[in-house]
């Protein structure tokens, strides 16, 4: 309702006013450098010469502190916030309404989730450069509400795409669903200023097409039965997979879905070396871990040399990993800023038993080990480190 009493189209919820005020209120926190846990540009432990930042603490405070130096300087923001599924960690901001008013359990409250994310997105917009972009991963629980607050904060005219991200194989409990089987999440893509968006249109080259058929023992045996030699069989497979297909194919807004796109999720490439359980040697799966190649696709599309990439729900550090991988691939000098609340791992979890007391411990060590492996594999002259800050 406007001040003149006339109605208008808008999204509102109990606590929205407090959420707006929260984005404008100052923070009493400060950032304190921890040299001992920092990582040098060359990957050396205990050095603080890296251009990358890792911040342990509430991202609301961190975003307010980052405004002083990084307002209008961040080229890309990618976040994978809590999906409000009932088991997610919801940030404990002090909103002005009692939980009982909505008549639902706290973890399922749309209002609480909106009040958590709204001030953070308002602050995030201030950090974006005019030619920058923001990508937000989300599932069906809050996708409709997210679209509405993104329209309100960034402007509906700056909506670019809703990217459909296919999650995995149809197996196990998924196939028991009584309805159509859900097998995707969404990524909402917005610009800061649609007239100035720096976007690089991307294609999948023929050599990178997902194969239509693979040379399995069963297929090779069948080709022999049909009278083809080994050479003829290889030529036939090459013809089907490459020769008889276009030179390249433009990337659509449905990822890991088409006959050309081989961009697989972590769930599909279950043997992937980027899985946290394998990278850190922990006998525990980390639900929701994002594919490094998926993040590299986003990073390549909207950033270049020297650009800053921010993830303020950084979790296990996938975005930092992807920035380093893309820098090694194209020689650009992108920098990352990761922010993560030091949420404690469950006392009886494999992560805790492995010495990882918080999510930050996991993310920081993941960046260290991923950087070590990348340097050994490529020898690329990039920044493998981060300066670690805590909020006090």
How do residues 128-157 score in pLDDT, each as one tens digit?
A: 999 999 999 999 989 999 999 999 999 999
How does residue 279 score in pLDDT terms, banded at 50, 70 and 90?
confident
207 and 242 in contact (C-beta within 8 Å)? yes
In a domain, 239, yes or no: no
Q: With 0-12 CB in 10 A as exposed, 13-18 as middle and 19+ as buried, what is 36?
A: exposed
Euclidean distance between the first and final Cα of the chain, in Å?
40
Q: Name the H helices within the chain.
A: 16-24, 59-70, 110-127, 143-154, 217-225, 230-238, 276-279, 292-302, 318-330, 350-353, 359-378
275 and 266 in contact (C-beta within 8 Å)? yes
Report the Cα 304 to chain-centroid distance in Å: 18
Task: Indicate if the pLDDT at residue 388 is higher than 80.
Answer: yes
- What Rg value do the Cα atoms of the chain yield, rounded? 23
For residue 369, what are the domain limits?
16-209+245-391
In a domain, 219, yes or no: no
pTM for this one?
0.90
Look up residue 354 and give its DSSP letter: T
In a domain, 233, yes or no: no
User: Tokens in use for 95?
Assistant: 């909103």
Percent of the chain with pLDDT over 90: 73
Task: Indicate if the pLDDT at residue 91 is higher than 80.
Answer: no
Task: Give SS3 for 173.
Answer: helix
Q: Which residue has the higher pLDDT, 33 or 2?
A: 33
156 and 57 in contact (C-beta within 8 Å)? no
Q: Is the dihedral angle over the CA atoms 48, 339, 301, 133 positive or is it negative?
A: negative
Look up residue 160 and give its DSSP letter: E
Q: How many structural domains is the chain composed of?
A: 1
Overall residue count recorded for the chain in this entry = 392
How does residue 101 score in pLDDT terms, banded at 50, 70 and 90?
very low
In a domain, 42, yes or no: yes
Strand partners, 309: 76, 336
CATH number at residue 25: 3.40.50.150
Query: Please, which residues have CB within 8 angstroms of residue 325's CB and are 6 or more apart in sequence?
Result: 292, 296, 374
| C-alpha separations of 72 from 79, 113, 126, 201, 253 in Å | 18, 26, 6, 24, 27
In a domain, 267, yes or no: yes
- Per residue in 25-38, pLDDT (tens digit) is 999 999 999 999 99
In a domain, 190, yes or no: yes
């Amino acid at each position: 309702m406007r001040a003149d009493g006339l109605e208008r189209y808008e999204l509102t919820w109990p606590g929205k006013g407090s959420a707006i005020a929260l984005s404008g209120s100052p923070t009493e926190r400060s950032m304190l450098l921890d040299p001992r846990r920092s990582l040098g540009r060359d990957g050396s432990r205990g050095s603080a010469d890296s251009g990358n930042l890792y911040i342990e603490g509430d991202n609301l405070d961190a975003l307010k502190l980052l405004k002083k130096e990084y307002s209008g300087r961040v080229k890309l923001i990618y976040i994978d916030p809590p999906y409000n599924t009932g088991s997610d960690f919801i940030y404990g901001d002090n909103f002005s309404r009692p939980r009982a008013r909505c008549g639902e359990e706290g973890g399922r409250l749309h209002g609480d989730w909106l009040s958590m994310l709204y001030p953070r997105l308002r602050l995030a917009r201030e950090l974006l450069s005019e030619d920058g972009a923001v990508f937000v991963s989300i599932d069906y629980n809050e996708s409709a509400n997210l679209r509405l607050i993104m329209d309100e904060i960034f402007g509906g005219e700056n909506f670019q795409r809703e990217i459909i991200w296919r999650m995995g194989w149809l197996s196990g409990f998924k196939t028991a669903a009584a309805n159509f089987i859900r097998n995707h999440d969404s990524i909402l893509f917005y610009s800061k200023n649609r007239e100035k968006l720096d976007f690089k249109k991307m294609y999948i080259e023929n050599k990178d097409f997902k194969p239509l058929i693979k040379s399995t023992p069963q297929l090779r045996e069948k080709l022999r039965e049909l009278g083809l030699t080994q050479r003829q069989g290889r030529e036939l497979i090459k013809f089907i997979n490459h020769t008889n297909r276009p030179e390249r194919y433009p990337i659509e807004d449905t990822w890991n879905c088409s006959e050309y796109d081989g961009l697989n999720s972590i769930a599909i490439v279950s043997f992937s070396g980027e899985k946290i359980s394998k990278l850190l040697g922990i006998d525990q799966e980390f639900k929701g871990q994002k594919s490094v190649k998926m993040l590299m696709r986003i990073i390549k599309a909207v950033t270049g040399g020297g650009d800053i990439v921010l993830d303020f729900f950084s979790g296990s550090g996938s975005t930092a990993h992807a920035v380093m991988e893309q820098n090694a691939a194209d020689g650009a000098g992108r920098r990352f800023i990761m922010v993560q609340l030091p949420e404690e791992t469950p006392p009886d979890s494999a992560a805790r038993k492995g010495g990882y007391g918080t999510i930050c411990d996991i993310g920081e060590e993941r960046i260290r080990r991923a950087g070590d492996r990348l340097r050994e594999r490529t020898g690329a002259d990039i920044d493998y480190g981060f300066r670690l800050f805590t909020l006090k």
